[in-house]
Amino acid sequence: MAFKKKSVPKRNAFYAQSGGVTAVINASAAGVIEACRKHSSRIGKLYAGRHGIVGALTEDLIDTSKESAAAVKALRWTPAGAFGSARYKLKTIEQDRAKYERLIEVFRAHDIGYFFYNGGNDSMDTAHKVSQIGEQMGYPVVCVGVPKTVDNDLPITDTCPGFGSVAKYVAVSTREAALDVASMARTSTKVFILEVMGRHAGWIAAAGGLAGKKPGEPPQIILFPEITFDRETFLAKVKDSVEKNGYCVVVASEGVKGADGKFLADAGTKDAFGHTQLGGAGPELARIVKEGLGYKYHWAVADYLQRAARHIASKTDVEQAYAVGRAAVELALQGRNAVMPVIVRKSSRPYRWTIGAANLADVANVEKKVPREFITADGFGITPACRRYLEPLIAGEDYPPFEGGLPKYVQLKNAPVKRKLATDFKV
C-alpha cells in the first residue's frame, strides 16, 4: 500500500501495546519499528510504552533504537507483548481529563508527534480521544490505531490481526482432541467440551467448526454468544450425537448466555475494563451434561494457550499483522489523524486482500458479531458462507526457528528513556 506523502516536521513517535496480547502483535510492532526506521528523515526516535499506555502515563518509555535489526526482525515470530501490555481503560475526556493531559505532557516533553496504539475496541477509542485532547491543548498528535484482537470483533476491517492464529490453533486442537475422544469413546469419555475466548462475538468458537468438513464430523456442537443457550435443546443435541457417533465434541464460547441474558460463566467479578470476568463455561456445561445425561466427560479451557501459540500461527495472520504495522506509519506520515489501517478482502477463493483505512470514530467501541447467516439454522454449527470466510484466515504455516527442540523467541533489551518531567503520576 502506498499513501500520498504530506510534508510534516520531524518528530518522535510513541508505540504502545494494549489489552490481551496475541501470537502476532509483535509482528505489528516489527512493522511499526521498521517503517519508522525507513523514514528516519521524518521520524526521529520511536519510543515504546513499558506496559502499554501505563508506560506513557508514568513516563516509563523504552528506546527502540537500542534494538538491533535482527532483534526487530525476530519480533515477527515472537508471541506475547515484547514491551509489555496493560488492561488499562481511559474513560471519557471529562472523567479522565488529568490522565489525557498527562499523556500530552509526556508527549510534549519527549517531542512525540505520532502515537501508534496497538489494540482493540477500547484502545481505538483511547487513540481517538488522544487526538482530540491534543488539539484542545495546542499540542496536536497524529494518532493512528493498529488493529489487534483475537476476538475478531473490530468493525470495518475484514479480519483482525491475532484472530487468524487463534482460529488456526482452535481448529487444530479441536480436530486433534476429537480424534482422541473418538478412539476412546467405546469405554471412556463420551463428551468433550473445549471452552474458547469470545465474550460477545463467537468468531473463535466458529473457527472450531473448521475441524470437520462433513455432516456429523466433530465438533458436533458449537455454542455462540449470538445464540441464546437453551439447556434442553443442548442436551437433546448431545444425546443425538452420542447415539449416532458414539461421542460428542462441543466448542463453546466463554460468552454463552441463557434466556435471562446472564453469562453461563459469570464469575461475579469485573476486569480492568469493567467487563464481566468470565471463565467457567466449560465446567458448567460439563455439569449440565453429567446431571442431564450421565455421560462421562472431559472439558478443557484454551485460555492463554490459544493466543500464545505462535508455533502454529497462521501465515496469513502474520503477514497481515506486519502489514497493518507498516501501514500505520505510512498513514501517519501522510498526515492522516484518528484513523486505523484495515484489511480489505478482494476475494476469498483465491484469497486476495489489501490495506485500506477507517476513521477511529467509526471503529471505537463498536463490536462486530458473527452474522446469523454464518450460523446454521439449528444454531449449533457454521454454514458454508462462514467456512469460505474463515478458511483463508488460517491458511499457511509460518513456523518460528527452533533450537533444542523449542521455538527460539527474542528477548528485547527494552532500554529505558531518561525521564524529563519532575512530577510522578500514579495509575
Of 25, 367, 257, nearest in space to 163 by CA: 25
Smallest CA-to-CA distance from 127 within 222, 18, 253 is with 18
The cell numbers describing 67, all together, are 534494538
Q: How far apart are CA 178 and CA 335, in angstroms?
A: 51
- Which of 118, 85, 86, 82 is closest to 411 using CA atoms? 82
Closest alpha carbon to 64 in 427, 399, 342, 325: 325
- Nearest CA to 212 out of 388, 382, 392, 393 is that of 382
- Residue 275 cell numbers, joined: 467487563
Query: Buried b / exposed e across 256-286, counting CB within 10 Å, b at 16+?
Result: bbeeeeebbbeeeeeeeeeeeebbbbbebbb
Q: Which helix (H) or strand (E) holds 359?
A: strand 351-359
Catalytic residue among 122, 125, 151, 153: 151
Q: Which helix (H) or strand (E) holds 386?
A: helix 384-390
- CA 43 to CA 66: how far, in whole Å? 16
**Rounded CA separation 302/197 (Å):** 8
Whether 223 and 193 have beta carbons less than 8 Å apart is answered as: no
Lay out the sheet containing 191-196: strands in order across. Answer: 221-223, 248-253, 191-196, 297-301
Residue 151 known to be catalytic: yes
Cell of 28: 505489528
Cell numbers given for 352: 486476495
The closest alpha carbon to 299, from 342, 250, 245, belongs to 250
Find out whether 355 and 322 touch, Cβ atoms under 8 Å. Answer: no
- Strands, E assignment, 87-199: 112-119, 142-147, 191-196
Q: What does the block give as the cell for 123?
A: 484502545
Q: For the chain, how many residues are written? A: 427
Q: Do 380 and 208 touch, CB atoms closer than 8 A?
A: no
Residues 6+ apart with CB under 8 A from 260: none
* Residues catalogued as catalytic: 151
